Amino acid sequence: MNIIDELTWRGAINQMTDEAGLRKLTEEKKISLYCGVDPTGDSMHIGHLIPFMMLKRFAAAGHHPVVLIGGGTGAIGDPSGRKTERQLQTMEKVQANAAKLRAQFAHLFGEEDRITFVNNADWLSKIDVLTFLRDYGKLFSVNVMLAKDVVASRLDAGISFTEFTYQILQSMDFEHLFSTYHVQLQIGGADQWGNITAGTDTIRKIHGSTAEAYGLTIPLMLKADGTKFGKTAGGAVWLDPEKTSPFEFYQFWLNQDDADVVKYLKYFTFLGQEEINALAEAVQKEPEKRAAQRRLAEEVTVFVHSKEALAEAQRITEALFHGSIEELSERELLQAFGNMPTVEVSATEKDVVNWLVDAGIYTSKRQAREDVAHGAVTINGVKVKQAEEIVYPHKNSHGKFVVVRKGKKKYTLAKIKQ
């Protein structure tokens, strides 16, 4: 199957500058293509995954991906999708973020001989203002730039000259990669269409109207209910395990709605049509088994983290489902309960009723005593049977935590002051 046909089946294409030309090009030879990300933060989130998984799909088809980290453009700020000016970061912060993003990409793509990493600071920082205005500024019509959605949407609120020139800088990137690395295709989100087409136009103005340069964008990712994909009550779902633990990451995918899960299997996994179609059928016939959600969660967690991280996330999930958390490690306890209600306590080794009240988990000893008597309280995964039982830290927490459960699902993590 041609790579364009596969992407179309997966619903992963929003617009192409020349579908017939790109299809012909990818059938005739192996091409180089790129996607860029600005280091405005020190981690990507799952919204970034889609275009870079596109690069991975092209790589699987024998094409060569180039990842551009915007050490130069990140110092300026892309106005796309924003209503106000971006707060500029220090160059030190931009460089530190760029290093972290490169490490994430290296993890996702594996062997570095299968991918080229570039940083546009390497060429943009060497261009003086007169060269910029004479060699590049002359190629751009202000009228055309004003008509681009990314700029037009900001005119009422106002846009600085700095952000206004962003599309010129991105066009310079495409032209530089076209000339230096023979890159013929740029991929980006739907909001990058104006910047991408500015790049293909620039290449043709410099290299002639027959220059083969193409652009492809992915659709804006929305859930079935029309809301934005990738957000949770706690904020964005990050690829950095220190920001979003592998357990939380796994749970995000596991809890996707039946109406969305097949679309996400096509977007976010490398499973083939036959298996995805079988999972789609399972969603219709046996939705209660959530086979598609489990497969989705497994595939994306392994891709972003590792098989070991998946096993850990599944172990925590199983322990929470059955309430059997007594064997979890300190690391697993933090993943499972780090974002749940937390209290600080000065000590343990006190009878459970007094300890629960002193910790603020209960407001009255009477209610605590009643719940204990009815078997509604567990400490560190073990049901409390008598009000006189003594509370100790979880055996694997090195004296740091006590995990309390009230009823079936209401957990509290008590952190012991050291």
Please compute the mean of the pLDDT values over residues 252-271 and round it to a whole number. 94
pLDDT of residue 148: 81
Reading the block at residue 98, the tokens are 């760029």
CA distance 192 to 200: 13
pLDDT of residue 81: 67
Cβ-proximal residues to 137 (8 Å cutoff; 6+ apart), any chain: 168
Please compute the mean of the pLDDT values over residues 4-27 and round it to a whole number. 93
Please tell me the pTM assigned to this model: 0.84
pLDDT of 109-130, one tens digit each?
Answer: 876 667 899 999 999 999 999 9
pLDDT of 273-327, one tens digit each?
Answer: 999 999 999 999 999 999 999 999 999 999 999 999 999 999 998 888 877 888 8
Phi and psi (nearest 5°) for 272? -80, 175
Please compute the mean of the pLDDT values over residues 1-7 and round it to a whole number. 88
pLDDT of 185-202, one tens digit each?
Answer: 999 988 889 899 999 999
- Please count the other Cβ atoms lying within 10 Å of the Cβ belonging to residue 385: 12
Task: Tell me whether residue 34 is annotated as binding.
Answer: yes
More confident call, 193 vs 417: 193
pLDDT category at 234 given cuts 50, 70, 90 is low
Answer yes or no: is pLDDT of 387 > 90.
no
Task: Tell me whether residue 293 is annotated as binding.
Answer: no
User: Do residues 104 and 239 lie in contact, with contact meaning Cβ atoms separated by under 8 Å?
Assistant: yes
pLDDT of residue 228: 74
CA distance 394 to 397: 5
Answer yes or no: is pLDDT of 7 > 90.
yes
pLDDT of residue 336: 83
pLDDT category at 8 given cuts 50, 70, 90 is very high
pLDDT category at 232 given cuts 50, 70, 90 is low
Amino acid, res. 162: T
% of the chain with per-residue pLDDT over 90: 48
* Listed ranges 34-48, 205-219, 230-244, 361-375; the one with the highest mean pLDDT: 205-219
More confident call, 215 vs 398: 215
For residue 141, give Cα distances in angstroms to 30, 134, 174: 34, 13, 18
| Overall CATH class of domain 231-321 | mainly alpha
pLDDT of 137-166, one tens digit each?
Answer: 999 989 888 888 778 887 877 888 888 898
Please compute the mean of the pLDDT values over residues 6-34 and round it to a whole number. 93
CATH of 337-416, picked from 1.10.760.10, 3.40.50.2000, 1.10.10.60, 3.10.290.10, is 3.10.290.10
Task: Tell me whether residue 335 is annotated as binding.
Answer: no
Answer yes or no: is pLDDT of 41 > 70.
yes
Task: Tell me whether residue 250 is annotated as binding.
Answer: no
CA distance 298 to 288: 18
Query: Where do the domains of the chain lie?
Result: 3-218, 231-321, 337-416
pLDDT of residue 175: 97
Q: Confirm or reject CATH 3.40.50.620 for domain 3-218, answering yes or no.
A: yes
pLDDT of 43-95, one tens digit each?
Answer: 988 988 888 889 999 998 999 999 999 998 888 888 876 777 778 888 889 89
Answer yes or no: is pLDDT of 409 > 90.
no
